[in-house]
Amino acid sequence: MKISDEKLVEQAKSGNSYAFGKLVKRYQNKVLFLAYDLVGNYNDAQDVAQNTFLYAFRSIARFQEKSSFSTWLYRITTNAAIDFQRSKKRKKTLSLNQKTSEREDERELIDTLIDKDKPFDERYQELDLKNIIEQTTAKLPPQQRAAFVLKYFNNQPTDEIAKILKCDPVTVRGHILRASLKIRKLLKDEQ
């Protein structure tokens, strides 16, 4: 029988690290994929996911349960990804070897997401389209990118995105609209 998130959170708040471990196991892939969608790099996404769970573990006692645990966790992930991107812009130093290994890791992750039963040419077109979308979303401001990714890559409803980003649903719709217009313009410019 599956224990509810609420029960596991209650146990984790009482210091039960096993209960928190079950929550991590339940959400680790979702957090990793959200982080990947937000930062566009598998190694960086792993760092963001690790920071997310570390912060959640340290802060579980302060979780007030005004929203669901998943919403709270996605909010932490989104904030961690935005903070990561900002700090990365400040650093902007990578070695050539690191860049190559990151690309290989990204390819491995993308390969696991593509349906192997489809013909090669369809899979190649999907991969090319995914690369184009990743490159264009990477050019968006962090809040717009987060709203767009949560909406279209993670199928979150606008009200849920508003809770995750701690803003009004109208603001979320504005972020998504501006992101969509920028992506459309970037795609058109690349043709």
Can you give the pLDDT at residue 132? 73
**Residue 49, SS3 per DSSP:** helix
- What pTM was computed for the model? 0.70
Can you give the pLDDT at residue 133? 74
User: What is the dihedral angle through the alpha carbons of 104, 110, 112, 116, rounded to the nearest 10 degrees?
Assistant: -110
Q: Which of 184, 164, 178, 172 is nearest to 82 (CA)?
A: 164
Domain with residues 1-92, CATH architecture:
Orthogonal Bundle (1.10)
Structural domain spans, the chain: 1-92
d(CA 179, CA 140): 7
Can you give the pLDDT at residue 40? 85
Cα four-point dihedral sign 168, 179, 33, 117: positive
pLDDT truncated to tens, each residue of the chain (191 aa)? 789 999 999 999 999 999 999 999 999 999 999 999 899 888 999 999 999 999 999 999 999 888 899 999 999 999 999 988 888 766 654 444 444 455 555 555 455 444 556 555 555 555 566 677 777 888 888 899 999 989 988 889 999 999 999 899 999 999 999 998 988 887 777 66
Can you give the pLDDT at residue 74? 95
Can you give the pLDDT at residue 138? 82
